[in-house]
Amino acid sequence: MSLVWTLLRGSSLKFFFAVVLSALSAGCGIAVISMIGQVASADDITGLDVALLFVFILLLFCFSVSSQAMLTSLGHHVVHRLRLHLSRRILKTSVERIDQLGQPTILATLTKDVTSISQAFNSLPFVVYGAAVLLCCYGYLIQLSVPFFLSTLVMTITSVFIAKQLMSASRKLKREVRENDDALYDRYAGLLLGRNELKLSRARRRRFFEDSLTPIVGKALDLEVRADRYTVLTGSWVNTSILLLIAIIILIHVLFAVGSKEQLMGFALTILYLRSPLAGMIGSLPALIQGSVAYNKVQQLALNEDEDKPDHERALEKHWQSLELRDVTYQYPSEADEQGFSVGPINFKLTPGELVFWVGGNGSGKSSCARLITGLYHPHGGEVFFAGEKIDETNRDWFLSHFSVVFADFYLFKQLINETGDRPDEALVTHYLNALALEQKVTVSEGELSSTKLSQGQRKRLALLLAYLENRSIILLDEWAADQDPSFRKVFYTELLPELKARGKTVIAITHDDHYFHLADKVYRIHQGTMSLLEYEHSDNQTMAAAIPPHNDKEKLKC
């Protein structure tokens, strides 16, 4: 029930009105049963009796349709809000937390969990209607015959107890199914993202399919079959218990002469009328259980809360004097028996208009340093200062807004925006498309790229186009030139970077192209999570290349 009340927040009045309509529908159903009993036992059937019977049947139809339509619509609106609510929470959650959770886990939540919650709310009308009919039927039975009602109550308690045990077992298995889904989505990700490697190696395809994918899919099959078996058993038990109840009442009537035949017929009609909505209610419980499990899984992600507070956008600082990292450290969590990679302490200072190169081997910590300096990762130690302010949670979003970044694992949005978030000037877009040699590859219409299905080098140029148009004061490029052909790589270093610098932009370029190191104002080497300043500036190509040690650490210099 916590799932229902949490997601109905703000719609409780509509829900209450739908419940009232369900109760009225159930009351009309009981009135129909009562009138059928009266008409069947009456010696003389009048036209008024028949007319009232048709009126109650019509009201039963109208109230039933109205209540279930209202609950169904309410359920769809709730799921709509849930989708947007989850998306906003993900947007407000730190990149660090998103990286920890992993893409398969989050995709499983946005797809399967949201679908399960949607199905739970779509089943809510049957639960509400069934509960309303159940209460009205019990009210009718108690005034029809107290002994019959007491027998019904005892049988109901017994039936509910057994059904509860079966549903508990089903819920436990549904929870295991959901835990297995994360592993299943991870295998699906490998199936798609590793398509090249799998296609190139028959042995790897076989090992992946047999040892990695098949066991997880097999486990999902076993858990789902067992969970559904309990679900079927619960529904069958409820249906059988209703018929068993009628048989017990008949037995009591025959053995102990309790109640009249008219009461017995009214009781049987009521129980038979109750059977369909009760079966619908019980049949909907598995969806509610699955929805509850999915909702708990969403809560376990520990995403940032989506607070209903307006975002007060602070103006960006255009005349900042420095960006400084002081003794900044970061520690990745340990995995199994392996110690997590540590970064720092990092001491680094950046001033406006600088062109800075970062160099280092794979796994040296360059990307981690990039995430730390841009504020995407929160330092575990040390301090970050920008424009004379210490960066913390109160101003981190403002700080982040000063950066445009093209990471190695960048995502390319089709929508183009300028520094205010509006559609950029078309003449400016055309200028940059020409500068990036993309005018023959892609067009822009209504502020949107015609296509992003290009080569990796061309996609990186489009990513740089987006960074240009955002017009942020600091641009960080992570191995941007690695996928460019030699001629355009030269254009990048000798024309594009100097143009950015001439426009007053501050640029950090992570690179291995030592032939162009002389163009940088400063070059830093990152090795095993530490950063050192190479002591030469604007040297010629040969001197610079010879001076950089490929493996040996130089003396660490504080900036």
pLDDT tens digit sequence for 249-278? 888 888 888 778 778 888 888 888 777 777
Is 416 within 8 Å of 429 (Cβ atoms)? yes
pLDDT per residue as tens digits for the range 376-414: 888 888 999 998 889 888 888 888 888 888 888 888 787
Is 141 within 8 Å of 34 (Cβ atoms)? no
Exposure of 183 in the CB half-sphere (CA atoms within 13 A): 14
pLDDT of residue 530: 87
**Rounded (10°) angle between helices 146-193 and 214-256:** 170
Rounded to an integer, what distance in angstroms lies between the CA atom of residue 509 and that of residue 496? Answer: 12
- In the chain, the amino acid numbered 393 is E
pLDDT-derived band at 307 (thresholds 50, 70, 90) equals low
pLDDT-derived band at 175 (thresholds 50, 70, 90) equals confident
Q: What integer is the mean pLDDT of 160-175?
A: 80
pLDDT at 440 over 80: yes
- How does strand 530-533 pair with strand 342-350? unpaired
3-state secondary structure of 383: strand
Is 505 within 8 Å of 473 (Cβ atoms)? yes
Token readout for 43 is 């010696």
pLDDT-derived band at 4 (thresholds 50, 70, 90) equals low
Q: What is the pTM of this model?
A: 0.65
Q: What integer is the mean pLDDT of 12-41?
A: 79
pLDDT at 544 over 50: no
Q: How far is CA 438 from CA 104, 454, 461, 482, 529, in A?
A: 34, 10, 8, 18, 37
Minimum mean pLDDT range among 195-209, 312-326, 465-479: 195-209
User: Which secondary-structure segment (H or E) carries 157?
Assistant: helix 146-193
Token readout for 284 is 């909907």
pLDDT more than 90, % of the chain = 2
pLDDT of residue 508: 92
pLDDT of residue 557: 29
The chain-wide mean pLDDT, for the chain, equals: 79
Q: What integer is the mean pLDDT of 160-176?
A: 81
Of the spans 39-43, 446-450, 465-469, which averages the highest pLDDT?
Answer: 465-469
Domains in the chain, please, with CATH? 2-300 (1.20.1560.10), 323-547 (3.40.50.300)
Rounded to an integer, what distance in angstroms lies between the CA atom of residue 382 and that of residue 486? Answer: 40
pLDDT of residue 306: 58
- H/E/C letters for each residue in 283-297? HHHHHHHHHHHHHHH
pLDDT of residue 485: 83
Is 480 within 8 Å of 458 (Cβ atoms)? no
pLDDT of residue 355: 92
DSSP state of 494: I
pLDDT per residue as tens digits for the range 91-123: 888 888 888 887 777 877 877 788 787 777 777
- The values of phi and psi at residue 374, to 5°, are -85, -10
pLDDT-derived band at 10 (thresholds 50, 70, 90) equals low
Rounded to an integer, what distance in angstroms lies between the CA atom of residue 153 and that of residue 471? Answer: 72
3-state secondary structure of 530: strand
Is 556 within 8 Å of 530 (Cβ atoms)? yes
pLDDT-derived band at 3 (thresholds 50, 70, 90) equals low
Long-range contacts of residues 95-104, Cβ cutoff 8 Å, at least 24 apart? 95/371, 95/376, 95/377, 96/371, 96/376, 96/377, 96/378, 97/302, 97/303, 97/304, 100/333, 101/301, 102/186, 103/189, 104/182, 104/185, 104/186, 104/188, 104/189
Q: What integer is the mean pLDDT of 227-240?
A: 80
Residue 157 region by backbone torsions, left for phi larger than 0, else alpha for psi between -120 and 50, else beta: alpha
pLDDT at 548 over 50: no
Is 220 within 8 Å of 181 (Cβ atoms)? yes
pLDDT at 555 over 60: no
Long-range contacts of residues 143-151, Cβ cutoff 8 Å, at least 24 apart? 144/263, 144/266, 144/267, 144/270, 145/258, 145/259, 145/263, 145/267, 147/252, 147/258, 147/259, 148/249, 148/252, 148/258, 148/259, 148/263, 148/264, 148/267, 151/245, 151/248, 151/249, 151/252
Q: How far is CA 111 from CA 108, 223, 250, 295, in A?
A: 5, 20, 50, 12
pLDDT at 56 over 70: yes
Is 13 within 8 Å of 76 (Cβ atoms)? no
pLDDT of residue 289: 77
**Rounded (10°) angle between helices 426-435 and 456-470:** 140
Is 66 within 8 Å of 129 (Cβ atoms)? no
pLDDT of residue 540: 47
pLDDT-derived band at 131 (thresholds 50, 70, 90) equals confident
Q: What integer is the mean pLDDT of 218-225?
A: 87
pLDDT of residue 385: 92
- How does strand 389-390 pair with strand 381-386? antiparallel
Rounded to an integer, what distance in angstroms lies between the CA atom of residue 481 and that of residue 492? Answer: 7
